[in-house]
Amino acid sequence: MESFLTALAAIVGLGSLIAAAIIGARRTSRPEQWVDPSSQSGRSVRVVPAQAHPPGRGRRGGRKDRDGDLLPPGATINFAAERQSAGIDEILAALDRDLVGLVPVKTKVQEIAALLLVDRARRRFGLVAPRPSLHMCFTGPPGTGKTTMALRMAELLHRLGYLEQGHLVHAMRDDLVGEYVGHTAPKTKRILDKSMGGVLFIDEAYYLYRASDSKDYGQEVIDILLQVMENERDKLVVILAGYKDRMDEFFTSNPGMRSRIAHHLDFAAYDLDELTAIGQLMLEETNYYLSSQAQDAFREYLTSRMAQAHFANARSVRNELERARLRHAHRLAGDLERHWNRDDLMRIEPEDILADDADLFDSAEALEL
Ligand SMILES: Nc1ncnc2c1ncn2[C@@H]1O[C@H](COP(=O)(O)OP(=O)(O)O)[C@@H](O)[C@H]1O
Ligand SMILES: [Mg+2]
């Protein structure tokens, strides 16, 4: 009997070793590529892998690496060098370059980076530095850069050594809440397992809570999250996102959740100039430009779109430019006889912007929110 049990234990042990090896292999073979979150549907769970790191960068300076080699009390450290060695200057510079406006959000990100740099430095001197709480809440209307910033934040936390992998798992209510008794906990745990070492980004997190329905399984998710956010805070950062007013209501009904969120970042709707600049940036990235009449047409278009329901800020800009590209292509390719030059292939004209087929796309855009 005893030898049978020993054999069984050996088989189970071997099995879990193999399973761990498979999971490990999967993790290391993750494709490291950038995925534009807005190019995918927001309906199901998405895992966005961490960005590729330049050799020798990013993994250096992690929490674990530092623990062994304490600095003597008389030593000094320099934050320019610290930022350099963690490779965060390039992340912060890229934030500034790639994202128009968002000044208060960028300032907050700088503050968080500073906190973590000092925390790391303290640890190198052997000073007490309990890991600061890093769960966050990103509030703001659709298309204001919340998901984009969460991806950058995951990367930043990874480079500073606070997240092992720095990937991001995007989830919504339906990815977490089950449909029958006993379904919710395993469903939520599956997402949590996927998120370990990275960021769990819960979009429209307030849908987890239904005040009118005390039997709703969403409460079970909230309870599990509260526990994991406390107990696994070394391995996982949770970012809740959604409209500000609804998130405030959610926190009022769930004070436990509020108390676990250390950083609130508010993303304001963009004004016309910012939207125009965002469009300009997107066009430059794709080698297109607006003729001067098209610039006027684009501003006119944005002004009317801003007043409509379902306007989704930078996402609407991106979508409209996609449509302009289609119309531009149609205009050029439709004229079989004419010769077009390089500039023609890059230049968007007013007729590519202001077309009366806009209604056709509006419902599609509403679905993307
Ligand atoms: N400030 C900005 N500058 C440039 N592009 C932006 C900015 N904010 C958002 N975008 C772009 O708009 C799209 C939608 O942004 P996203 O982060 O998905 O918004 P949210 O998560 O708030 O709905 C993305 O393609 C993103 O790159
Ligand atoms: Mg989003």
- At which of 266, 297, 319 does a domain end? 266
The pLDDT of residue 210: 85
Query: Is 23 domain-assigned?
Result: no
Q: Which residues line ligand 1 (CB under 6 A)?
A: 36-38, 99-102, 140, 142-148, 278, 281, 314-315, 318
Give residue 78 CA to ligand 1 midpoint distance, Å.
34
Query: Is 16 domain-assigned?
Result: no
Q: Clarify whether residues 56 and 96 are in a common domain.
A: yes
The pLDDT of residue 288: 97
* Other beta carbons less than 10 A from residue 369's beta carbon: 14
217 close to 177: Cβ distance less than 8 angstroms: yes
**To which residue do tokens 């991106």 refer?**
318
The pLDDT of residue 46: 84
The pLDDT of residue 96: 93
- At which of 266, 293, 322 does a domain end? 266
Task: Give me the number of domains the chain comprises.
Answer: 2
Q: Clarify whether residues 143 and 61 are in a common domain.
A: yes
Q: Clarify whether residues 121 and 224 are in a common domain.
A: yes
Range of the domain at 331: 272-368
Query: Is 1 domain-assigned?
Result: no
Query: Is 22 domain-assigned?
Result: no
- At which of 214, 240, 266 does a domain end? 266
> Candidates 35, 36, 38, 39: which one to mutate for ligand 1, based on the most atoms within 8 Å of Cβ?
38
Query: Is 5 domain-assigned?
Result: no
Query: Is 257 domain-assigned?
Result: yes
Nearest ligand by distance to the CA of 97:
1
Q: Clarify whether residues 160 and 220 are in a common domain.
A: yes
| 10-residue averages of pLDDT along the chain (369 residues) | 50 47 38 39 70 45 54 89 88 93 95 91 87 94 97 94 95 92 93 96 93 80 95 95 96 94 96 97 96 95 92 96 95 94 96 69 46
Give residue 148 CA to ligand 1 midpoint distance, Å.
6
Q: Clarify whether residues 91 and 234 are in a common domain.
A: yes
